[in-house]
Structure 1
Amino acid sequence: MRFNFTFRKAKTVLNHEGAVAYTLTPQLELYAAVATAALSDQFYETADARLLRLRELVARNDPEFVARLAVYAREQLYLRTVPLVLTVELARRHRGTSLVSRLVARVVQRADEITELLAYYAQANERDGVKTLGRLSKQVQKGLARSFNNFDGYQLAKYDRAGRVRLRDALFLVHPTAKSAEQQHLFDQLVQGTLPTPYTWETELSALGQQQFASAQARTAAFRTAWETLIGSGKLGYMALLRNLRNILEADVSARAVERVCATLADAGAVARAKQLPFRFLAAYREVLLVQSGYVAVVLEALETAIGHSAANLRGFGLDTRVVVACDVSGSMQTPVSARSKVLLYDVGLVLGMLLQSRCGHVTTGMFGDTWKRVSLPRGRVLHNVQEFYRREGEVGYSTNGYLVIQDLLRRREVVDKVMIFTDCQLWNSTGDGGTLAQAWIDYRRTVAPRARLYLFDLAGHGAAPVEVREGHGAALIAGWSDKVFDVLAALENGGSALTEIGKIELA
């Protein structure tokens, strides 16, 4: 796989706002589309349009690159659905090697991903339901057979859910060979529907919620006892804890339980194992802010510590490196990252921007829409700073005049080393003066700071960039919502790129 290729001059196209933009290489476009794929309708692109574009891009890229990208998305970006899509699309096109079977076994890391993969396989191959899946690709079948061997009875029972394809259907389709008599017994139970119902915190609370109580006080007391028991048992996973902080506090749990919750949230090892996307901490922070409890302050502090741990390996810049962090707060950034999320692309950009700000010694931060506004904030309180930006939402308007960030540096004749723009890359000029980011960047490097570097953090992956992303222009593109974007930033600082990071993935 060759990543150190020579860039050719990019072609110009029109972005979704009708402004001139520059095409990306097929590899870079697929990477950006994958790293930002929630596969739900977005401001500029429907889920179906994104899916179609992904399929076309898979066909235009080398199979090994697609496979490495799928693993990178699953293991580094913590994405679940889009790696399955890449795997199925690769299976439809690639023959002759074991690449697909090895990839299936690698990206299927939860039992329900077996059925998700098969459901998408049926859709992609225009097959109507599980009965028509008998003509399964041999490589997909082999990979799923290997995957079945990775799951115990608890995992099989937990994810044996109703749906277009059930786990028992998948078992009949792929015919896995049990690795022991005990596992064969589990497979038999799965087929017969006799797997023991697994204990989960969801089942316990669901059962409690269906009970009748004499009073609201009795109900609160019952949930308080349930939450305290769960917290004390250690059976509440990190993500479940994040998502239920508001419920826990509203149940008025004891000081000892709150202390344990905060200790878990702030534990560096627990944060590392949980592999949460940074914006998950913001979602939890905002839910806690809505609670009337004397424990709110200590829980917010624990969340600040937690997100600090999530970026512990982020290599920022010292006092000798002048950095500008600019966050796009335009109308198109007010789109949820997925259909079920309250978190917006706007929020993702702010969280990543403030994480970077927390690791820089000499940094100017601000936001842009109709105008560009510098906003000075203290380092260290990432989530608090995001909320401060959010409180000032609307102060700069809702257009996407990103060129003003560079024009401001030109006007001040201010020399900086790095300009970091967090955006959906759909920049346009609402002022009518003809200014563009591409021209402003050329002028800035020519007249003020020849060695400056521009980093576009693409949060939407629509397939083009507002500047040429190639050697000699001092501009690079990084995509995604994970803290792993900063690993790509480090690679770029050392002469690499996002593609070299993907190229490091070993396909066992």
Structure 2
Amino acid sequence: MSKFNRAGRFATSPVRGVRGGTTHEGGPGHARDAKSELFVLAVANMVGEQTFYETADDRDARFRTLVGEVALTDPAWLTRMIGWLRGDAGMRSASVVAAAEAVMSRLCASLDGGNRQLIDAALRRADEPGELLAYWTGRYGRGIPKPVKRGIGDAVRRLYDERSLAKYDSGTSRSAPRRSEDRSSGTSSRRFRFGDVLELTHPKPASAVQGDLFKHAIDRRHDRDEAVPASLKVLRARAELLELPVAERRELFSRPGAVERLKAAGMTWESVAGWLQGPLDAPVWEALIPSMGYFALLRNLRNFDRAGVSDEAAERVAERLVSGAAGSRVLPMRYLSAYRAVSSDRWARPLSRALDASLAHVPSLGGRTLILVDRSGSMFFTQSERSQLSYADTAAVFGTGLALRAERADLVEFGSTHRRIEVRRGDSVLKTVERFGSLGGTETAAAVRAHYRGHDRVVIVTDEQVWAGHRGADPTAGVPAKVPVYTWNLVGYRHGHGPSGTANRHTFAGLSDHGFAMIPLLERGRDAPWPF
């Protein structure tokens, strides 16, 4: 007789929460084990950024403590999480901090093995070895342990090439101040260029060409007037462009093959702007647009309008935005941000279509689904100082996307009050998001009780910080045990609003649409593992 694989067995999910503690609003809370709390926090932690209920210092300290604890008990799990966090989740700063703090925790406990791999897992872009060194020295001083050096060296061998040197190793004219404030540690830290990283970590080059590159990076760091080695063809082509008189550089765009020449020299649109020593006008943008990457196009829509690019060029950009959305790995919120940043109407329809296409990973759920989107005051905090988008915006985008793809869905916004948002198949996510409002406090359970009518599942997109004192604080208690409730935590606070991990109650986290794929997995009775 089968003991486990039989009807009626509840599938499990990795984020575990049981009754204990309170939410920041004093409501009954559910504590999570260290791995669960770390995961929920990591995928929302921008590092050095304040949230509604936590100061930046308190949030970062909690993150460091959790990383240090898990590093001692399960470094292999943590290495996988850091790699996933940097890769699939796209969390650069959190990955760097997690790797550094994990290794420090293990070194303090005299634990060897795996430390080098923790460092390497966090580094995916050529400027990040310098970022990690800046964080380490800013927090722990100039002494750099061997595992940190070796892990950085492994990443350098993978990441340092001619184009990365051209893009990320700023020279004197474009460099940031030699010392900058490290917000995550509250200390002043050096800015490390490629040559600094190489001299501190001494990686062995993977090839003779990379050896020439390493030597050249060190020479230029020390302002040695050495010729670019013949083997470094990209940098030699770049040097030739830099020798052109400034007055002649803009004329280059009227000649055949100008863009190909710039590309061969590793010149991105950012470096072209500095090279021209003046604004990018319409002819320059129109020459660059065909070779620009997807995200570069998306972030420059307002610049295209300011420069006055032609309608024909704008149409080509619009076509690429729509056709490339599904495979771009650009998060859906980026389209909402771009939509709000532009003033021209010519981008509204392509951005709307691109956002809809970017939600291709959101499953089409069968049956009836109740989707509740948190629009309480705490959700209207922006995700970082540089972002204009709030957690409420993110919740509305994903809640709407899930509703539009579901077979039958009731979409509800809630706070201290609640109301239904009408959606019909074929509606635009961007236009639907504009119908949401701001609704005060967090009475999640009241919204569930008011709108649950025998649905096949309930999805709640929220920060989980329910108010104290209102009846039935656990919102999952108002749904029959046989009906699954999926909580999507967007902010990563310590205590959740209900149980999680089993018995048809599950919590997920992060800003990516891929996680919604766990819903049909669990409903097929299969246990959902960590996403890494």
Task: State whether TM-score is above 0.5.
Answer: yes
Contact 1:7-1:471 at 8 Å conserved across structures: no
Residue 181 of structure 2 is matched in structure 1 by none
Stretch deviating more after TM superposition (17-26 or 192-201): 192-201
Q: Displacement of 1:167 after TM fit?
A: 2.2
TM-score, normalised with respect to structure 2: 0.80
Give the alignment partner of residue 395 of structure 2, picking from 333, 340, 349: 349
Structure 1 143/283 Cα, relative in aligned 2: closer, same or farther at 3 Å?
same
Post-superposition CA distance 1:63-114 (Å, at most 9, x none): 1221111112112212111111111122113365542323333331111110
Q: Displacement of 1:139 after TM fit?
A: 2.0
Structure 1 365/327 Cα, relative in aligned 2: closer, same or farther at 3 Å?
same
Residue 285 of structure 2 is matched in structure 1 by 227
Matched, 1:18 2:23: no
Residue 388 of structure 1 is matched in structure 2 by 434
Which consecutive unaligned segments of at least 5 residues does structure 1 have?
Answer: 212-221
Matched, 1:421 2:465: no
Which consecutive unaligned segments of at least 5 residues does structure 2 have?
Answer: 1-10, 171-175, 179-189, 221-225, 229-234, 239-265
Q: Between Structure 1 and Structure 2, how many residues are aligned? A: 455
Contact 1:354-1:382 at 8 Å conserved across structures: no
Instruction: Give secondary structure in 1 for the equivalent of 2:513.
Output: coil
Residue 166 of structure 2 is matched in structure 1 by 157
Give the alignment partner of residue 116 of structure 1, picking from 106, 131, 141: 131
Structure 1 99/308 Cα, relative in aligned 2: closer, same or farther at 3 Å?
farther
Structure 1 349/402 Cα, relative in aligned 2: closer, same or farther at 3 Å?
same
Instruction: Give secondary structure in 2 for the equivalent of 1:465.
Output: coil
Give the alignment partner of residue 256 of structure 1, picking from 312, 332, 342: 312
Structure 1 106/12 Cα, relative in aligned 2: closer, same or farther at 3 Å?
closer
Structure 1 364/11 Cα, relative in aligned 2: closer, same or farther at 3 Å?
closer
In structure 2, give the amino acid aligned to 1:428.
W
Post-superposition CA distance 1:45-67 (Å, at most 9, x none): 12221211112112332212211
**How do 1:177-216 residues align onto structure 2 when only pairs under 5 Å count?**
177-193=204-220, 196=235, 198-208=266-276, 210=278
Give the alignment partner of residue 75 of structure 1, picking from 63, 87, 100: 87
For residues 55 and 88 of structure 1, the distance between their equivalents in structure 2, rounded to whole angstroms, comes to 9
Residue 326 of structure 1 is matched in structure 2 by 372
Q: Displacement of 1:9 after TM fit?
A: 8.0
In structure 1, give the amino acid aligned to 2:133.
L
Give the alignment partner of residue 512 of structure 2, picking from 470, 482, 487: 482
Residue 216 of structure 1 is matched in structure 2 by none
Residue 337 of structure 2 is matched in structure 1 by 283
For residues 335 and 115 of structure 1, the distance between their equivalents in structure 2, rounded to whole angstroms, comes to 30
Contact 1:428-1:436 at 8 Å conserved across structures: no
In structure 1, give the amino acid aligned to 2:476.
W
In structure 2, give the amino acid aligned to 1:342.
Q
For residues 443 and 268 of structure 2, the distance between their equivalents in structure 1, rounded to whole angstroms, comes to 49
Matched, 1:435 2:471: yes
Structure 1 8/454 Cα, relative in aligned 2: closer, same or farther at 3 Å?
closer
In structure 2, give the amino acid aligned to 1:314.
V
Instruction: Give secondary structure in 2 for the equivalent of 1:464.
Output: coil
Matched, 1:409 2:451: yes
TM-score, normalised with respect to structure 1: 0.83
Structure 1 378/252 Cα, relative in aligned 2: closer, same or farther at 3 Å?
farther
Structure 1 184/9 Cα, relative in aligned 2: closer, same or farther at 3 Å?
closer
Post-superposition CA distance 1:304-340 (Å, at most 9, x none): 332233222322212xx11011111111111111111
Residue 231 of structure 2 is matched in structure 1 by none
Matched, 1:91 2:103: yes
Give the percent of matched residue pairs that are identical in Structure 1 and Structure 2: 30
Structure 1 334/57 Cα, relative in aligned 2: closer, same or farther at 3 Å?
same
For residues 428 and 86 of structure 1, the distance between their equivalents in structure 2, rounded to whole angstroms, comes to 32
For residues 92 and 31 of structure 1, the distance between their equivalents in structure 2, rounded to whole angstroms, comes to 19
For residues 6 and 203 of structure 1, the distance between their equivalents in structure 2, rounded to whole angstroms, comes to 44
For residues 284 and 433 of structure 2, the distance between their equivalents in structure 1, rounded to whole angstroms, comes to 32
In structure 1, give the amino acid aligned to 2:195.
R
Instruction: Give secondary structure in 1 for the equivalent of 2:281.
Output: helix
Matched, 1:399 2:407: no
Q: Displacement of 1:452 after TM fit?
A: 1.2
Give the alignment partner of residue 106 of structure 1, picking from 107, 117, 121: 121
Contact 2:46-2:384 at 8 Å conserved across structures: yes
For residues 85 and 68 of structure 1, the distance between their equivalents in structure 2, rounded to whole angstroms, comes to 15
Residue 316 of structure 1 is matched in structure 2 by 364
Q: Displacement of 1:6 after TM fit?
A: 11
Structure 1 457/4 Cα, relative in aligned 2: closer, same or farther at 3 Å?
closer
Contact 1:334-1:346 at 8 Å conserved across structures: yes
Q: Displacement of 1:460 after TM fit?
A: 0.5
